[in-house]
A and B are shown apart, each in its own frame.
Chain A
Amino acid sequence: DIQMTQSPSSLSASIGDRVTITCQAGQDISKYLNWYHQRPGKAPKLLIFDVSNLETGVPSRFSGGGGGTDFTFTISSLQPEDIGTYYCQQYGDLPITFGQGTRLAIK
């Protein structure tokens, strides 16, 4: 299985802050990396696919980058509705695996 390691596991930031999360794959997964947002008590929602492509309707303050084994997810200006947990997901190989999650709170 391809292990996905997110960092940090949790963070708190102020409204308007720039927030960055990293995701490292245990082996080269090219560009086969997605990001999801899960609000408390809700199902995950796809935000970004193929490293950097925003799903329809996702605000432009979200962005993604990287390739190979190292990936980043950035919120350029944190908003109150961005709280929750963020997961990366790889599809470079089966089984599909997710990172352990990064819990984001407002300071």
Chain B
Amino acid sequence: QVQLQESGPGLVKPSETLSLTCNVSGDSMGHYYWSWIRQPPGKGLEWIGYIYTTGDTNYNPSLKSRVTISIDTSKNQFSLNLNSVTAADTAVYYCARGVRVVVVPGAINWFDPWGQGTLVTVSS
């Protein structure tokens, strides 16, 4: 059974880069869309972007200029970099496996499973 686990600093200074890694265990990374989703405290869910195992990426236009997602299939992990952070980027960051059963404009059909999430606070 596949499991995902996020890791990285819990505190980042404004204007710096937020960096997180998601470790995937229990299965290979093949044929899935490895995704990042965030949730500001007390608020809803925002899809950040995904990377396919070929290295193809797609990002939410609202964050595209600041986001990079990378993958290392040999280590069974993928990573998120979000630069020039502000307090508005304070959130719980989740990694998730994106599943595609049918080809649709949205690429990913659903997210399953998710990591437990990690809170990242942007503050000086």
Contacts and interface: CB of A to CB of B under 8 A. Distances in A.
A32 B58 CA distance: 19
A59 interface: no
A43 B44 contact: no
B34 interface: no
- Tier of interface size on chain A: 20 to 34
A44 B116 CA distance: 9
B106 A92 contact: yes
Main SS at interface, chain A: loop
**Secondary structure dominating the interface of B:** loop
Interface residues of B, number: 23
Interface in A30-82: 32, 34, 36, 42-46, 49-50, 55
Given A43-B115, A101-B44, A94 B105 contact: yes
Nearest to A94: B106
Contacts of B117: 43
A53 to B, nearest CB: 10
Interface of B: 44-47, 58, 60-62, 94, 104-117
Interface of A: 1, 32, 34, 36, 42-46, 49-50, 55, 87, 89-101
Q: A-B pairs with the 5 shortest C-beta distances?
A: A91-B106, A43-B114, A46-B112, A98-B45, A96-B47
